[in-house]
Chains A and B, each alone.
Chain A
């Protein structure tokens, strides 16, 4: 028994160390963001607890940077992306799970093939197409948002997830609905869709996280500061405040608060392991 206890202690020591390493970069950023002008942020030895404690960096960066604007832009983009993914993936997953039709197999493999295509490799033509369709922020804000959303409006991952969900519903559900006189759209919308709510929630949450953190695409297509999403805006802090690390740190922490709240509220979806591999790495 004694061996088992010491083993448990070692386990805890390792896990505590890894946990601390996981959050340390943020702790250090928070610490820097709370240090006033009277304290040297490059002091040796480094001070984790600020001696000249202040919230001025937060109020200062808040006044100079339109965080609310970035937040609203991110919400519009992530919200629109989630909504379209739910509707389009469910609509596409339904016939793939439940209907027989000509070309089903080829459709299935064509969708599967898109999983193998990395966005980074095709982003140049996607950019040219987006320009051709006038979906950029110098046309209008709405066009700009559509340009951010449309390339990610549906994914093979979502379609396959929905297909799996539909496959797990017993056929009797549809039979009963047919007897009740439902047409195919009503069966989809009123009978089947409510039954796959858990899968829709999973898709919504993981699409939201992916869209919220997206950096490459918005930094390619956006031209106006007023259209910046949070990641692009935060990256821009570096240019705005060049070496004012107090402001850069405060701004980075501020921008993280929304997703942190979201994660803590939804943590069971992420850490339970039931949705393994749902986030794109």
Chain B
């Protein structure tokens, strides 16, 4: 086909999008690094260059290690369940049974409801004299401080993230299951393989790329949690549920320490970018046809 467009047409079409990405992505990206070398605590409009001092402060701060540890707990708590359980559900739902659409709608519901409403709903379940503690005491145990006991708070928040993610990943798995050729299952049936054997030998190897994809995207979103913590615990008690993004928010907007918060943001940026890079270049190549 001949070139029906003028020399400048491609650039004119691209300009608005690129302009916005430049102002709200590219410049802020570099500026995050830049800010992390300045001290804003004395005067927010007139910062001092202090080199790597914010990083020194960060790496000497016990809260930083607490926050990193909590984020790690988030990963090991949420990711394996979000990778395995939705797959199990997707396999169950991908059968010729009644009520599939209704099941899908109900299980997907937590995904579309605002995280703020979800967090409020769970806060109510977790109340000291709430319904969960009723269940706990009915079992003969003493009530749990779901959100008020530093031993449990992070896990209580992780449960919300898991609960809100299951439907999302189930649908991703369902899409992948559609691509598994039926003949493979038929062959299994002839061999007399049972449910577990069938899925271990056919389904799982076939949708391995999707399993890998779900692992990386659920890990990335676990590192970006904010609203659950903001609504339910504000990172407490005693920093026990504080994660990276909440810490950035707190240092920047409550302590007005933009430099320190930016150093924390750089740490988040580096970690997430590694995960995203692996994700795009290993598991999503086709989507972006690389």
B269 proximity list for chain A (CB < 8 A): 117-118, 121-122
A254 to B166, CA, bound (A): 24
Task: Say whether chain A's binding surface is mostly helix, strand, loop, or mixed.
Answer: helix
Q: List 24 A-B contacts (CB under 8 A).
A: A19-B102, A26-B113, A28-B124, A29-B121, A44-B137, A92-B17, A95-B11, A95-B13, A107-B14, A110-B26, A112-B280, A120-B245, A121-B266, A128-B258, A184-B5, A184-B9, A216-B227, A231-B117, A248-B124, A252-B117, A255-B117, A274-B175, A277-B172, A281-B221
Task: Say whether chain B's binding surface is mostly helix, strand, loop, or mixed.
Answer: helix
- In the complex, whether A54 has a CB less than 8 A from a CB of chain B is no
B27 proximity list for chain A (CB < 8 A): 125, 129
Given A25-B121, A234-B116, also A19-B21 (CB < 8 A)? no
A263 proximity list for chain B (CB < 8 A): 108-109, 112
- Is B114's CB under 8 angstroms from A19's CB? no
Q: State the interface size on chain A (CB cutoff 8 A).
A: 99
A209 to B109, CA, bound (A): 12
Complex partner residue of A231 from B110, B114, B287, CB under 8 angstroms: B114
- In the complex, whether B18 has a CB less than 8 A from a CB of chain A is yes
Given A95-B10, A150-B24, also A174-B4 (CB < 8 A)? yes
- Is B273's CB under 8 angstroms from A150's CB? no
- Is B218's CB under 8 angstroms from A273's CB? no
Surface stretch bound by A, among B49-57, B59-67, B69-77, B92-100: B92-100
Give the number of A-B contacts (CB < 8 Å): 288
How many whole Å from A230's CB to the nearest CB in chain B?
Answer: 7
B interface list, Cβ under 8 A from A: 1, 3-6, 9-11, 13-14, 16-18, 20-21, 23-29, 31-32, 35, 89, 92-93, 95, 97, 99, 101-118, 120-122, 124-125, 127, 129-131, 134, 137-138, 163, 165-168, 171-172, 174-176, 178, 195, 213, 217-218, 220-221, 223-224, 226-227, 230-231, 244-245, 248-249, 252-253, 258, 261-262, 265-266, 268-269, 272-273, 276-277, 280, 287-288
- Is A26's CB under 8 angstroms from B121's CB? yes
- In the complex, whether A195 has a CB less than 8 A from a CB of chain B is no
Complex interface residues of chain A between 42 and 78 (CB less than 8 A to chain B): 42, 44-46
A259 proximity list for chain B (CB < 8 A): 112-114
A42 to B101, CA, bound (A): 35
How many whole Å from B141's CB to the nearest CB in chain A?
Answer: 14
